[in-house]
Amino acid sequence: MPLAGRHVVLGVSGGIACYKSCMLVRRLLEDGATVEVVMTAGAAEFVRPLTFEALTGRKVLASLWERDHALAHIGLAKTPDLIILAPATAQLLARAAQGQADDLLTALLLARTGPVLCAPAMNDAMYAHPATQANIKTLAQRGWRFVGPETGPLAEGPSERQGRMSEPETILAAAQRLLAPAGRWQGRTVVVTAGPTREHLDPVRVITNPSSGRMGIALSEAAWTRGAEVILIVGPTDLPLPSGVKAVRVETTADMQRAVQAVMKGADALIMAAAPADYRPLESAPTKRPRANGRISVQLEATPDILTSLKRPKGCVMVGFALETGDGLAKAQQKLQDKRLDFVVLNDALEPGAGFAVATNKVTILRKDGAPVELPLLPKRDVAERILDAVEQALT
């Protein structure tokens, strides 16, 4: 539980995105945080305080005048590890930027010296307005961190516009990163590859594999929340990518090789969770091949082996995956040596709940020095955390 023992005050202001704040409270609690909710009068028009009280088991605070002592806002400003504002409306940003203290939430923000994480949500024109942009700039210069707003359908209609509050999972990841203990990950660059690659037979037909990218995406998010700078090099996938990581989309194995090589110079760790296609057609037709009856033959050639081709910076921790069918321990051990890796994560494509396109994985982590560690069946995010624990030990 990354937020165990942490005290979070969630400030909720009056926008339709309030309904998502209820889910955010649940996720913060599940992660081990103690959560107190402070609402503006506008927020209470959208969601009743009772909802937050039922979720947190604590009284919602809304007024400067109703607490049993006059300095409640000072205590609330000083004690929490983090104040999250979600949603933060244009009006809340304006009042905070001006230093107003006309209700409990703005008063405690004025007294706050510790971290504030702000998730704006508003109409796109209000967000784009120079006044709002100036307020955000002012608050960022004072040390506030921002997550979102994102582009998507707003309350007024389905067209894509910027102003949507980030999803609870995204806000939670940003909170985890802000509260990550200072350690080995800050200032480190981690390169992660994810997903399949595609090799074209013609413009509409490809050779690929069923990898979804889920394991690599989970690794990239876990490394980002630990405090690292993360570059995610990802083949074709429909899954959403974590907002904090720098994503580079690629299609073929050769594209992936180029993209990885381009960022290896500054890398402290490379985690090759992708399943690059091993073969490509010797010739790719420039236009669609007409359907022909009977058999056709396609000549294939091997794609480059990315891991063995890379120039590695000194001290870069190298992690490969080995997807095998049946007893793969010996083959994975061989890959550890042949590809000169620090770790190989072995998973069995035939094992239920492991391998491609499922939410869980069952892996064994083989190490350059030391005995293999077999993990139970776990959600991919938990597998990612265990892999990063191993990488953390190896970072010099």
- Chain residues binding ligand CTP by CB under 6 A are 253, 272, 274, 276, 278, 303, 305-307, 320-323, 335
Question: Contact 9/108 with Cβ under 8 angstroms?
Answer: yes
List Cβ neighbours of 37 (8 Å cut-off, separation of 6 or more). Answer: 9, 10, 12, 25, 49, 52, 53, 56, 58, 60, 61
Rounded Cα distance between 84 and 37, Å, is 10
Q: What does 194-223 look like in DSSP terms, one character per residue?
A: ESB--EEEETTEEE-----SHHHHHHHHHH
- Min dist. Cβ of residue 228 to ligand CTP (A): 19
d(CA 178, CA 261): 30
**Helix (H) / strand (E) containing 368:** none
Rounded to the nearest whole angstrom, what is the least distance from the CB of residue 338 to ligand CTP in the complex? 8
Residue with tokens 């609690």: 29
For residues 72 and 135, what is the distance between their CA atoms, to the nearest angstrom?
A: 26
In the complex with ligand CTP, which residue's Cβ is closer, 86 or 275? 275
Least separation, in Å, of the C-beta of 237 and ligand CTP?
15
Q: 65 pairs with which residues across the strands?
A: none
Q: How far is the CB of 335 from ligand CTP (least distance, A)?
A: 6
Least distance in angstroms from the C-beta of 299 to ligand CTP: 18
Name the residue nearer to ligand CTP (CB basis): 100 or 333: 333
Whether the CB-CB separation of 108 and 146 falls below 8 Å is answered with no
92 vs 98: CA distance, rounded Å: 10
In 3D space, the residue among 139, 142, 62 whose CA is nearest the CA of residue 105 turns out to be 62
CB closer to ligand CTP, 176 vs 303: 303
Catalytic residue among 123, 135, 209, 361: 209
Q: Which amino acid is at 131?
A: A
Cα gap 184→393, rounded to integer Å: 9
Residue with Cβ nearer ligand CTP (129 or 312)? 312
Return the number of the residue (139 or 277) whose C-beta is nearest ligand CTP: 277
Query: Are the beta carbons of 319 and 270 closer than 8 angstroms?
Result: yes
209 is catalytic: yes
Contact between 361 and 354 under an 8 Å Cβ cutoff? The reply is yes
Instruction: Measure CA 380 to chain center.
Output: 13
Q: What is the DSSP string of 370-391?
A: S--EE--SEEHHHHHHHHHHHH
Nearer to ligand CTP, 60 or 194 (CB): 194
* CB of 309 vs ligand CTP, minimal distance in Å: 8
CA distance 99 to 101: 6
CB of 279 to ligand CTP, least distance (A): 9
- Minimum gap (Å) between residue 226 Cβ and ligand CTP: 21
Task: Between 129 and 331, name the residue whose CB sits nearer to ligand CTP.
Answer: 331
Nearer to ligand CTP, 116 or 354 (CB): 354
Q: Give the residue numbers annotated as catalytic, written as ranges.
A: 209
